Amino acid sequence: MNLGLLAERVAARTPHATAVMTSDGTAMDFATLARRARSFSHHFHARGMLSGERVALAMSNHVSFFEILLGAWQAGLIVAPMNPRLLPVEAEALMADCGARLCIATPELAPGIAAVARREVLDVGSEGYSAASAGENTDPAVELPSDAAAWLFYTSGTTGRAKGATLTHCNLQAMIDSFLADSGCAVDEAMLHTAPLSHAGGLLGLAFLQQGLPQVVMSTGAIDAPAVRQALHLQRRSSLFAVPTLLNRLADPDFLDQKARGRVAKIMFGGAPMYAEDLKLAIHALGGERLWGGYGQGEAPCTIAHIPSELLLESGEHDREELLGSVGLPRTGVEVRIAGEDGRSLPIGEAGEVQVRGRVVMAGYWNDPAATDKAFQDGWLRTGDIGRFGSTGLLTLVDRAKDMVISGGSNIYPREIEEALLCHPAVREVAVVGCPDREWGEVPVAFVVLRSAATAGDLDSFCLTSIARYKRPRGYRFVEALPKSSYGKILKSELRAALEAHPLNNTKETQ
């Protein structure tokens, strides 16, 4: 199996259909994409690169992403797309980790990377690149076993050292199949990439590619309202992948006017917790039929559970509040269980680690047998997320295992406190982390971004109306903004570090 043939297969039936487009309207059809990918594959071989070698991508969103991906796969290579916001030295560390022979970089990143990289760097704006993609190559694609590695997904690393989840051609095909079964794409739908292609957006784009649908690539970082509105007008209907922060912005009527909203086929939201209160606002603003919630991780790319659009419209047998606070139902082709510390499956209602099995689950971490070993338990992928199943089959995440706060021997899930505080009208954003405490071991502390005036006392009284006393934050820090990764995930590690630098003065006032 070689996914590098995706564009060729489409080109054989609809060669002139648009494959990739930039937000200024410049388009490339499937025949051209297939030809350029083949040319690339030949170029890699001409450089002496052998099947199984790695090529790293240091690219902000760029129209050439897909031709490089497909060309590399046709040549049997493994791609390692890196977060474009990494510092050059951080990118070099990832390239050293996977032993990349070549790095392909977008023009604004290439000089910085070249200054520190201990490998060759090819700038997509260079003449060398143009020549590599302009050849007329007829070499057949390398034949690969389906468990051949295709994509090293460097986990976003909100904590700890980044590891390369090794995704095989078979894993990615399973991801595409599951997406088409659970969400699907209509024949008149395009995918609009506002999020980095190196992460879930690029992975989900493969399904659109396979279906012969256009992808509109917006440059990373240009997520302002006029740019999104303009890009939406390039296609009749577009779907977008959005982390919760972006979904919240898209739900704002000042961001997407009615005309632009009419062009939205679907917003696939996920990648980080979506709070029930925010989801209600998004449903109100955009309509449940335009939303689809996805829960996954690099190790099981984009594919563990989902909230189908039809349930966001009409919850059916499911309790509405439970549905909106959940990550939905297990995805097609994926088994999901909740495991206790002893590795046994837990009954409905009990919280434990979410574990996953299926064709979509990674082969392991690149060159890291010890981490791979830890990531699996009896053949199940350990997600590190804590969740529980409800009686109607909905999976609710209570937290990341490592974010859980243990206070006086009781487990406190920050997510629960965050959901509670978000119901306060003055709270715009909140993140709760554990702070070391002599008496209790740890106590929860809330970092809050306010939309209007409120005091710690107001929030404390408010918490007492919805969560148990022992769970309420023992301290509040009011901040202008929460630290976020370039993928939009709140960096709790930074909040913990801030607390370490400036500990709470008095944590004894309440219990």
Nearer to ligand AMP, 124 or 204 (CB): 204
* Min separation Cβ 364 and ligand AMP, Å: 15
Nearer to ligand AMP, 30 or 295 (CB): 295
365 contacts ligand AMP (rule: CB under 6 A)? no
Angle at 20 between CA 19 and CA 21, to 5 degrees: 130
* Min separation Cβ 297 and ligand AMP, Å: 3
For ligand AMP, the binding residue among 298, 434, 475, 488 (CB under 6 A) is 298
For ligand AMP, the binding residue among 73, 179, 295, 440 (CB under 6 A) is 295
* Min separation Cβ 206 and ligand AMP, Å: 16
Contact 469, 497 (CB under 8 A): no
Nearer to ligand AMP, 5 or 162 (CB): 162
* Min separation Cβ 70 and ligand AMP, Å: 23
Q: Looking at 118-126, 295-303, 316-324, 492-500, which segment touches ligand AMP (CB under 6 A)?
A: 295-303
For ligand AMP, the binding residue among 385, 416, 437, 494 (CB under 6 A) is 385
Phi, psi of 277 (to 5 degrees): -65, -40
Nearer to ligand AMP, 203 or 427 (CB): 203
* Min separation Cβ 400 and ligand AMP, Å: 5
276 contacts ligand AMP (rule: CB under 6 A)? no
* Min separation Cβ 302 and ligand AMP, Å: 8
202 contacts ligand AMP (rule: CB under 6 A)? no
Contacts of ligand AMP in 450-489 (CB under 6 A): none
Environment class of 438 (CB within 10 Å of its CB; exposed 0-12, middle 13-18, buried 19+): exposed
Q: Looking at 179-187, 256-264, 265-273, 493-501, which segment touches ligand AMP (CB under 6 A)?
A: 265-273
Q: Which residues contact 111 (CB under 8 A, 6 or more apart)?
A: none
Contacts of ligand AMP in 85-114 (CB under 6 A): none
Question: Chain centroid to CA 276: how far?
Answer: 19
155 contacts ligand AMP (rule: CB under 6 A)? yes
Contacts of ligand AMP in 326-355 (CB under 6 A): 327
Tokens of 281: 């606002």
| Extended strands (E) in 89-212 | 102-105, 120-123, 149-154, 164-168, 189-193
Distance separating the N- and C-terminal Cα atoms of the chain: 59
Rounded Cα–Cα distance for residues 450 and 502 (Å) = 21
Amino acid identity at 134: A
Contact 146, 170 (CB under 8 A): yes
Angle between helices 30-46 and 65-74 (to 10 degrees): 50
Rounded Cα–Cα distance for residues 337 and 331 (Å) = 12
Partnered with residue 297 across adjacent β-strands are 300
* Min separation Cβ 151 and ligand AMP, Å: 13
182 contacts ligand AMP (rule: CB under 6 A)? no
151 contacts ligand AMP (rule: CB under 6 A)? no
Contacts of ligand AMP in 35-74 (CB under 6 A): none
Rounded Cα–Cα distance for residues 27 and 19 (Å) = 7
Rounded Cα–Cα distance for residues 364 and 116 (Å) = 28
Q: Looking at 288-296, 316-324, 336-344, 455-463, which segment touches ligand AMP (CB under 6 A)?
A: 288-296
For ligand AMP, the binding residue among 98, 190, 362, 397 (CB under 6 A) is 397
Nearer to ligand AMP, 74 or 383 (CB): 383
Q: Looking at 79-87, 112-120, 280-288, 294-302, which segment touches ligand AMP (CB under 6 A)?
A: 294-302
159 contacts ligand AMP (rule: CB under 6 A)? no
Contact 468, 400 (CB under 8 A): no
For ligand AMP, the binding residue among 297, 355, 407, 507 (CB under 6 A) is 297
3-state secondary structure of 25: coil
Q: Looking at 253-261, 270-278, 362-370, 474-482, which segment touches ligand AMP (CB under 6 A)?
A: 270-278
Rounded Cα–Cα distance for residues 483 and 479 (Å) = 10
Contact 301, 360 (CB under 8 A): yes
3-state secondary structure of 240: strand
Contact 388, 319 (CB under 8 A): no
245 contacts ligand AMP (rule: CB under 6 A)? no
User: Token match 């957006």: residue?
Assistant: 201
Contact 479, 448 (CB under 8 A): yes
Size of the site for ligand AMP (CB under 6 A): 17
For ligand AMP, the binding residue among 273, 325, 387, 488 (CB under 6 A) is 273
Q: How many CA atoms lie within 13 A of 376 on its CB side?
A: 18
Q: Looking at 16-24, 223-231, 266-274, 474-482, which segment touches ligand AMP (CB under 6 A)?
A: 266-274
For ligand AMP, the binding residue among 266, 331, 400, 477 (CB under 6 A) is 400
Rounded Cα–Cα distance for residues 445 and 65 (Å) = 42
Binding residues (CB under 6 A) for ligand AMP: these are: 155-156, 270-274, 293, 295-298, 327, 383, 385, 397, 400
